[in-house]
Structure 1
Amino acid sequence: MKKGITGLLLICSIIFLIACGSKKESASQLPVVKTPLTRTESLLHTVVQLSIYHENQEEAMDGAIKLIKEMESLLSTSVEGSDIYRINQAAGKEPVKVDERTFELVEEALNASDRSQGRFDITIGVINKLWNIGSENARKPDSSEIEAALPYVGYDKVKLDAKEKTVYIEEGMSLELGAISKGYIADQVKKYFEEKGISTAIINLGGNVVVMGTSPNQEKGWKVGVQDPDKIRGATVGYVYQKNRSIVTSGIYERYIEVDGQIYHHILSPATGYPVENTISGVTVFTDTSTQGDTLSTTLFIYGIEEGLAYINDLEGVEAVFIDKDHGVHLSDGLKDHFALTNEEYHLAD
């Protein structure tokens, strides 16, 4: 049994952010510096790294770290007393009043489930608990266990009360927000930074990356590298410049177990209860919000490349890079004239 790489290697393996060039600042903005204030912390079961490209922002940095810790305490499934823990404990008993941010996140997750026709589903918690991929207790469950759990998966069974800010799930159900919570927290940190007047920063929550503004040295934007799914130490297949964007990468390399010589990765289908099987090795999604990027990175794995590209090309302001298991790189329409392939082991697919 083998677990995926975590910590700093996870950050490196998912995305590179490289700055180069020149930029002018408007008088209304805080002065931008080339050497950022950077803080690295072990939070959210990964390594969090924040970089602020303005001087004298120690107080804002402290506030951002405090905010991340606060959000983690609200959204964890394992911390007793957290909103999600209380919802799961009260399954089938009573609605649970939650923090406004928790309610907003659950509501957005259900909307994402509806838009994806259930491919993304936060009620998959009962299935995740069977596999436990990413923990020391990871295992391949019996088919009978999965069949018994599937009736308790279904986002349409979650009941929200917007006035009372309560969430209710049926007996036997379990919420799991791991596929959306880091994106939501990243957006909350961005909002906090903006309130502090910060215009230029990088928020990296273990692969959920938000770039604010542009590189202090490059008007074209931040040079964002797309991870090589076959490597775990940050090798990339190519890059694209981005400004004020979220970048979320998911891959079958992240967390998995090996049983009897077969690899089972952590991206599970709500319909079957098993890891998704298709030709995708990794996908990187570019969006305006990290919350949306988080949901899409999971949804696209379940769609597959052909349907996933069609889905992305119909969305406004969203782009994606799919990498298949034969080293083909598939680009959404808006990236075809902007993505630079740099790895000779890969090729641009038709």
Structure 2
Amino acid sequence: MPIRNSKFSQNLTRFNIPLLMGAVFAASMGTGVFSFTLPLMNLDEKAGGMWLGSGFAGYFLAKLLIAPLSGNYADKYGSSRPLLFSCGLAALLPLLYLLHPAIETLYVIQFILGLCAGTVRTVSMATIGASMGGHKLSSRFAILSAAMNSSFLLGPLLGGLLYIDKDYLPVLGTMSAFMGLAFILFSYCAKLLPTRTATQDGDNELSPGPRHYLGILIALFGRGMGIGSLIAFYPVLLKSSLHLSPGSTALLFSIPSLATVLLLPVSGRLLAAFDRRLVTSTGMLLSALALYILGGCSTIPGFMFTGILSGIGAAISMPASMAVCSELGCAKGRALGFANMAANIGFMAGPLFCGIMVSASGHIGTPFKLTALAGALSAVFLLYESISGKGKRKTGIAIAGCCALFLLLMIPRHLNRNTDKAVFRYSDIAMGTVVNLTIPVQENTGTQKAVKEAIAIMHQLQKDLDHRNKLGSIGRVNHEAGKNSVRVSDKAFQTIKSGLEISKKSGGSFDITIGAITTTPFYYALDKERFAGHKALINFRLLEMNSEDNKVFLPKKGMALDLGGLAKGTIIDAAANHLKESGITTAMVEAGGDFMVFGDREWTIGIRNPRGNGIIGRIKVKNNAVCGSGDYYQFIIPVSKDEETRKHHIFDPALLQSSTESIATTTIAPNAETADALATTVFIMGPKKGNEFMQKHFPDCAAMWVLPDMSIVKTKNFPPIQNSN
């Protein structure tokens, strides 16, 4: 509902709308440049995932809390003060880092940025809502949404360019500049902004009753769940479904946001004359449909289609939902503040719900389907409101009821994939992939307790052995390289010792000090000359270990351990050993295509196709581990005719470049740690040298190579490969 005295709204519409939109865009870019670059800083500083997770949780919590408060303030005292204060404060935040240059300061800055971003979003929306009405409202909200969402596309790109030299000061300076620009633009139109975003229809009716809010708030919560689930779990789904380069993965990930930004200005104008509740619910249902289809996708065209469909749904629903909230009553700030709060609660609830359902279903796609259904059901009530509001209450009930019934019928029948009651399966997310524990016994309290403890052990070891975790054993050793020896955990010491033994036996083909290169993000995409000076830093022989006190020392500054070649196997073994100690006699532990099986049962394992979907064959194993390596996990496709092979993450320490002898290997060993390390080692060696190495040092283990021409070479003791058909 527009204000009765429209002098301010006309001036704002004619002359200052571009300034207002430009200010919102600048503020969004300032936030985006910082927030999307912070994970890179987190990796370089080797800070743990706890820092990163808690930092972003704090950011969204800040947005959630500030939304209703800033909206209420704008209703009473106007838009200009909160907008100017938040942008001015954000522009000064880099001073905190100059006074105390530490990663902890950056996370403090991020929390304060959450307060500023939540204020700008809510108050700018309230300003538009209080300044105009009619058909222009949806189109203005569409442009505002495009200005806000464009930071999801441009922020990471600009932030990555600014951080190319691993210096965070340019990022902070750019953030400050964008926020300063937003402050200036808001200042220019401050006098023409509404003095109150609560319209002048009477202070006693600033807001309608709760039932008027219920439909849109539930719908916004459902949409927030979908968006949160996408951001948190979409990369895992892509990783588990496709073998793409990081660039291709990022492109697929950006399609929904790109489609949304491009379509928002068009959708806002074209749909402005239609019933806004109907438009909102329709767009949300389209987004939910895309998310549901996404749960079953396994091909690039499928992901592209669902990404575009999701973007179309968002572009349709965003401006219309803002307009619906704006017209709920006279208190624009309060209504839009609660709307943003509902969306942020959904945004935080979505990833939590998906995490729970991954454990229950054992498949990353099922949570997407369930979240999609929850989002669609949350939009049904809004759909009913849009239809019944025209005097067709019975028709509205019938249509909404049919939609709800149809959606309920689409719930996956087996939310728990234990179709065989004699087999208990448990799943979770660990090491960036889906982990499955399969036990051929009936589910009971004992097995539940054992598998949950096994998963907890996996999470604990992941933190301790990951070089990205500054507080873990490996992170601390790397941080003190060239300075001090570090006492590490018993498991870390034994894993380093195992890696050192294989490094010695392989003559350095497998070298756990390769971290001098591999701890650099996207190291395999950089020119070989970049690492010319690192040759002296990669030498396992220099590593000093003291078994009396579990101390490890890297004698040269710049040296670093990377246990990625065997730590995954170590973690799988730890989970399997805990199951054995808990009295479980037969089980399979699988993480991202690597397996450890034990007991009397013979298991059938598929061997992944390194150049396509599906598998190239199956093998049968018993009381053994099966692990694989390949150039399809992390890579970039050659862009030059002079380069015939892809650059990938498996580096040959002797050549300081990606190994080209194989494209995939599969190894079988008595434990996953050995199988994991051997898969990397023989990948680098190739079949000829690798065969000799296996016969001399690991005669009881087996290996298979897939060569660049897709031919297969095996050791004599590798089990028969059954046809994939």
Pairwise same-fold verdict (TM > 0.5)? yes
Normalized against structure 2, the TM-score is what?
0.41
**After superposition, where does 1:21-100 map in structure 2 within 5 Å?**
35-55=422-442, 56=444, 57-100=447-490
**After superposition, where does 1:1-350 map in structure 2 within 5 Å?**
7=236, 35-55=422-442, 56=444, 57-130=447-520, 132-133=521-522, 140-170=525-555, 171-215=557-601, 221-231=602-612, 233=613, 235-258=614-637, 260-261=639-640, 263-278=646-661, 280-314=662-696, 315-335=698-718, 338-342=719-723
Q: Answer 1 or 2: which has greater strand percent.
A: 1
For residues 695 and 238 of structure 2, the distance between their equivalents in structure 1, rounded to whole angstroms, comes to 32
- For 2:595, what is the secondary structure of its paired residue? strand
Per the alignment, do residues 281 and 225 of structure 1 end up closer, same or farther by CA in structure 2, a change over 3 Å counting? Answer: same
For residues 242 and 564 of structure 2, the distance between their equivalents in structure 1, rounded to whole angstroms, comes to 19
Residue 27 of structure 1 is matched in structure 2 by: none
Per the alignment, do residues 93 and 49 of structure 1 end up closer, same or farther by CA in structure 2, a change over 3 Å counting? Answer: same
Q: Deviations over 1:306-325 (max 9, x none)?
A: 12122223423201111112
Deviation at 1:341, TM superposition (A): 4.2
Residue 332 of structure 2 is matched in structure 1 by: none
For residues 528 and 663 of structure 2, the distance between their equivalents in structure 1, rounded to whole angstroms, comes to 25
For residues 226 and 140 of structure 1, the distance between their equivalents in structure 2, rounded to whole angstroms, comes to 27
* Partner AA of 2:466 in structure 1: S
Does the Cα contact within 8 Å between 1:7 and 1:206 map onto a contact in 2? no
Deviation at 1:160, TM superposition (A): 0.3
Deviation at 1:10, TM superposition (A): 5.4
* Partner AA of 1:179 in structure 2: G
* Partner AA of 1:271 in structure 2: A
Q: Alignment RMSD, CA only?
A: 2.2
Higher Cα radius of gyration: 2
Normalized against structure 1, the TM-score is what?
0.82
- For 2:703, what is the secondary structure of its paired residue? strand
Give the 4+ runs in structure 1 shifted more than 3 A: 5-14
Does the Cα contact within 8 Å between 1:153 and 1:173 map onto a contact in 2? yes
Does the Cα contact within 8 Å between 1:87 and 1:96 map onto a contact in 2? yes
Q: Answer 1 or 2: which has greater helix percent.
A: 2
Q: Deviations over 1:218-252 (max 9, x none)?
A: xxx11122222112x4x222222110110001111
Paired residues, number: 307
Residue 20 of structure 1 is matched in structure 2 by: none
> Where in structure 1 are there 5+ consecutive unaligned residues?
15-32, 216-220, 345-350
For residues 657 and 622 of structure 2, the distance between their equivalents in structure 1, rounded to whole angstroms, comes to 37
Per the alignment, do residues 47 and 241 of structure 1 end up closer, same or farther by CA in structure 2, a change over 3 Å counting? Answer: same
Per the alignment, do residues 282 and 83 of structure 1 end up closer, same or farther by CA in structure 2, a change over 3 Å counting? Answer: same
For residues 576 and 237 of structure 2, the distance between their equivalents in structure 1, rounded to whole angstroms, comes to 21
Deviation at 1:200, TM superposition (A): 1.4
Q: Deviations over 1:111-156 (max 9, x none)?
A: 11001001111111111134x34xxxx6632333211112111111
* Partner AA of 1:256 in structure 2: F
Residue 29 of structure 1 is matched in structure 2 by: none
